[in-house]
């Protein structure tokens, strides 16, 4: 038996998503064809579009399916055709690197030591220049789970006539989202963070927004994203979004996360929990135990059947320096020990107890070595 506590990397496939994907694979058909098989495929895509829209309180016609969160971020940042891009220092690399490559002037707004966007600095950056601007701030950070002040970002952006995009890849399905209240112009989503398969996502964009496609060809997705739709992936995304909306698990996950953090502090009273006391995603705990490296902890836990990530693991799987913790001013030796435990729909109490038992073994072993 293994305990998978790395939902922020990829959440295991939900049974509802699996069933919807198998049904879509068996049905076949191209959603652009006029015959019955084509119409069935079209109805799978449109059902999923409505399900994804419902998760964030948007309407179905605002949803453009993409190959994932990375492509949704790229469509937002490059497609908006602005002259200036303002991003936060803790964005996912898919926003940071896309901004650099977009051909616009890029400003990086800092975060406070607590890991929250510095709104005064954002205000000053926006006031400096009146050219067409897009502000991109994530809903919640993937490493720490710290929720960003989006309502205030939208307010400031409106004062300066800037557009707002939010990368809600980690927020969606973990925190309730009401599109009309949020007031952003665009929002990125990713299927595999919700329990769908990898390789499918969406950009939600408000009515009337002009977006230049990244991929040209056929007229799919209202000419915003050419290419025959990934019907199987889209069907799973819709089913996972529906399950996440119907079974809001924030309260259950908060109890499990708090139990984990209480147990951690019992084992290591000097443990630092990043963002403790701040508004965080219910499922995420990012911490470091002084003196223990992330590599040691990740490997020891893995050998004991518990899957977690290093807080600074990059896409190559190597442990690098976390730009998020660096932006928060966390000392390098402490940041080098950062571990991310992220829970989700499949997490049970037994997983938390197993993680704590495994941590106990490593902490006691290293204390014996140090003695």
Applying CB under 6 A, among 11, 51, 64, 70 the residue interacting with ligand PLP is: 70
Scanning 67-75, 99-107, 260-268, 363-371 for contacts with ligand PLP by CB under 6 A, the matching segment is 67-75
At residue 190, the 3 state secondary structure works out as: strand
Q: Which long-range contacts (CB under 8 A, 24 or more apart) does 148-153 make?
A: 148/88, 148/116, 148/117, 149/116, 149/117, 149/119, 150/182, 150/184, 151/182, 151/183, 152/119, 153/117, 153/119, 153/122
Sites for ligand PLP among residues 192-221 (CB under 6 A): 192, 201
232 as an active site residue: the answer is: no
Q: What are phi and psi of 92, to 5 degrees?
A: -65, 150
Beta strands in 42-146 (DSSP E): 63-66, 84-88, 105-109, 133-136
State in angstroms the smallest separation of the CB of 127 from ligand PLP: 27
98 or 358, CB closer to ligand PLP? Answer: 98
Contact partners, residue 364, CB within 8 Å, separation at least 6: none
200 or 292, CB closer to ligand PLP? Answer: 200
The answer to the question of residue 175 lying near ligand PLP (CB under 6 A) is no
At residue 234, the 3 state secondary structure works out as: helix
- Sketch the per residue contact string, 129 through 168, with ligand PLP: x for CB under 6 A, - otherwise: ---------x---x------------------------x-
Applying CB under 6 A, among 42, 51, 56, 68 the residue interacting with ligand PLP is: 68
The answer to the question of residue 169 lying near ligand PLP (CB under 6 A) is yes
Applying CB under 6 A, among 51, 64, 94, 283 the residue interacting with ligand PLP is: 94
Residues that bind ligand PLP (CB under 6 A): 68-70, 92, 94, 138, 142, 167, 169-170, 190, 192, 201
Residues serving a catalytic function are: 314
């Amino acid at each position: 038996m293994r305990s998978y506590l790395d939902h922020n990397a990829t959440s295991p496939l939900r049974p509802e998503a699996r069933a919807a994907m198998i049904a879509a694979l068996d049905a076949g058909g191209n959603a652009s064809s006029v015959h019955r098989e084509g119409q069935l495929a079209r109805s799978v895509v449109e059902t999923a579009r409505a399900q994804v829209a419902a998760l964030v309180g948007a309407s179905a016609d605002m949803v453009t399916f993409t190959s994932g969160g990375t492509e949704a971020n790229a469509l937002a940042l490059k497609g908006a055709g602005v002259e200036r891009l303002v991003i936060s220092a803790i964005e996912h690399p898919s926003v940071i690197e896309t901004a650099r490559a977009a051909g616009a002037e890029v400003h990086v707004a800092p975060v406070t030591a607590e890991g929250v966007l510095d709104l005064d600095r954002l205000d000053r950056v926006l006031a400096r220049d009146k050219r067409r601007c897009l502000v991109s701030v994530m809903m919640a950070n993937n490493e720490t789970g710290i929720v960003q002040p989006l309502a205030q970002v939208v307010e400031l952006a409106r004062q300066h006539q800037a557009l707002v995009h939010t990368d809600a890849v980690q927020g969606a399905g973990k925190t309730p989202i009401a599109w009309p209240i949020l007031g952003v112009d665009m929002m990125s989503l990713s299927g595999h963070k919700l329990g769908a398969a990898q390789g499918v996502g969406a950009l939600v964009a408000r009515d009337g927004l002009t977006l230049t496609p990244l991929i040209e060809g056929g007229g799919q997705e209202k000419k915003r994203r050419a290419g025959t739709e990934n019907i199987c992936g889209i069907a799973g995304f819709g089913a996972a979004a529906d399950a996440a909306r119907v079974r809001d698990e924030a309260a259950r996950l908060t109890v499990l996360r708090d139990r984990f953090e209480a147990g951690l502090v019992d084992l290591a009273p000097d443990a630092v929990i990043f963002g403790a006391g701040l508004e965080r995603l219910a499922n995420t705990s990012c911490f470091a135990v002084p003196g223990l490296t992330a590599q040691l902890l990740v490997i020891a836990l893995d050998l004991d059947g518990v899957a977690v990530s290093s807080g600074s693991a990059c896409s190559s799987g190597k442990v690098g320096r976390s730009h998020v913790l660096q932006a928060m001013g966390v000392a390098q030796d402490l940041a080098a020990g950062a571990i991310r435990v992220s829970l989700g729909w499949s997490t049970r109490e037994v997983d938390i107890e197993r993680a704590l038992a495994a941590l106990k073994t490593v902490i006691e072993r290293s204390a014996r070595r140090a003695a």
